[in-house]
Amino acid sequence: MFKTPSLATALKASTVAGLAAAVLATGVPLEITRSYAEAVNVQAPAVPSFANVVDAVSPAVVSVRVESRIKPASDDGNGFSFDFNGRGFDDLPDDHPLKRFFKQFGEQGPNGGEGQDGQQRPPRHFGERGPGPGGPGGPGRLRPVAQGSGFFISEDGYIVTNNHVVSDGSAFVAVMNDGTELDAKLIGKDPRTDLAVLKVDGKGKKFTYVNWADDNNVRVGDWVVAVGNPFGLGGTVTAGIVSARGRDIGSGPYDDYLQVDAAVNRGNSGGPTFNLNGQVVGINTAIFSPSGGSVGIAFAIPASTAKDVVADLMKDGTVSRGYLGVQIQPVTKDIADSLGLSEANGALVVSAQDGTPGQKAGMKAGDVVTAVNGETVKDARDLSRRIGAMQPGKKVEVSIWRDGKAQSLTVELGTLPADQKDASTDDSDQPQEPQAPASEKALADLGLTVGPADDGKGLQITNIDPNSDAADKGIKAGEKITSVNNQDITSADDVVKVLNQAKKDGRTRALFQIQSKDGSRFVALPINSQG
């Protein structure tokens, strides 16, 4: 029979509940005796969970297995193959230490023959995928050479990954999150941005795919989720925040990476980094790590860069980029002062190659590109990205700063060559080792000693004060000065004349064009009294 609790009992229960509430509120433990045991039920604080994002995007993320066909130079019948600088195993002398070693390994090792335990073992063909060109008796075997990550960008099977993941491969396999393996075909790759596109045949199946995020809405501090195939584990999820934007890691002219602190390791390359809406904000491509593992500094190709490149690769298998044909360098504060610019923005033209769109339009060394089609150019990388993103044949308005005035040029862009070469290393076009010209003069305030160049163009630097600003800026003996403040010089007196004029114009620095065996560059040096 149910008995109604007394008032005292009710008050006691109320007191216990009140004390428990006090413990939760203050965090101070109280020694109390509870009449009734209750299950612990903690109200979790409102923190983001990534489970819904992961559930939605995981089917769109794949592991990418890359294989390369290796044709054996020799096969001893035990599954052992060997190639050494184009020489097969049988080509080595009988007393060659490598032949003795590999023969022993082939007879007793794991590749075939009789093993250490005395059991006969069949050969192991790593990465072999059945009969055919890569199978037994074929011209070569498919062996794994790389593994990475990727993701579906369309329902009909296009996959985005990194160029460095697929660059050495001849066969590709996409492994889905449910373990399904699908052969993939390489559609195209772009080494300059480290992007590549694969395609699988789903035989009518529609794949779960993801969309690109809008870079303009990505902020430092936003949560991100990385999904990929670290160390071949597959289907691994890590989380972090966007740590920085616009990172230049020295990998190329189009560096503009997102930095994230989500754990990214080997095998994550080519995998996506998502925002909390399940949109791709970046493609994981590199990590900074003294140890080789994640230390919380990873770099992702931003969606704005990847979106256009991937679209071109899906359409044509290649990427066509606009081309000016000028060599550029950043505008430092010192260079801006030497040119009379109020801010250190834009890209300084070091040289305009003959016959290129920039040269035909009138661009020349010493120009500073300040804007393209009215949009301000922040720096040299910004100019490279802007021009590269435009279609060849397009006419653009290029704003430049020349001789202390703003000017405008119209340039019809060319097509960036597929194999754009670096500056010439032909010794005939480069300055020779330091020599002692017949007539030298010391520019003491610059810390330089100069003389006529052998080719009559510019001044040869024959000596340099190691404590000078010129030495601090990396100028070396044996290099040439070809111009000062964009004026050609052939003597030390020419230099003094230009510097004195710059002082009269209120400049504190002058712009020296320096020619070395590695090419041409501009260096700003302080102006002092010359004479």
What residues are annotated to the active site? 164, 194, 269
Among 431, 482, 494, which Cα is nearest to 457's?
482
SS3 for 339-383 is HCCCCCCCEEEEEECCCCHHHHCCCCCCCEEEEECCEECCCHHHH
Structure tokens at 275: 């925002």
DSSP 432-462: -S----SS-EEEGGGTEEEEE-TTSSSEEEE
The dihedrals phi and psi of 450, each to the nearest 5 degrees, come to -130, 160
The answer to whether the beta carbons of residues 265 and 293 sit under 8 Å apart is: yes
Do 398 and 391 contact (CB within 8 A), yes or no?
A: no
What's the token pair of residue 215? Answer: 């870079």
Number of Cβ within a 10 Å radius of residue 99: 17
| Inter-residue contact 369 to 385 (CB < 8 Å) | no
What is the full DSSP assignment across 28-79? -------SS--------------HHHHHHHGGGEEEEEEEEEE--S-B-SSS
- Give the per-residue SS3 of 246-261: EECCCCCCCCCEEEEC
Q: Would you tell me how many other CB atoms lie within 10 Å of the CB of residue 1?
A: 2
Token pair of 204 as six digits: 């009518």
Q: Which residues have a Cβ under 8 Å from the Cβ of 433 and sit 6 or more positions away? A: 478
Q: What letter would DSSP give residue 6?
A: P
Nearest residue to 281 via CA among 257, 309, 263, 264: 257
Cβ-Cβ contacts under 8 Å for 126 (sequence gap 6 or more): 141, 143, 144
Q: Are 146 and 129 in contact (CB under 8 A)?
A: no
The structure tokens 């060319």 sit at 414
**DSSP secondary structure letter of residue 397:** E
Residues 153/35, Cβ–Cβ less than 8 Å: no
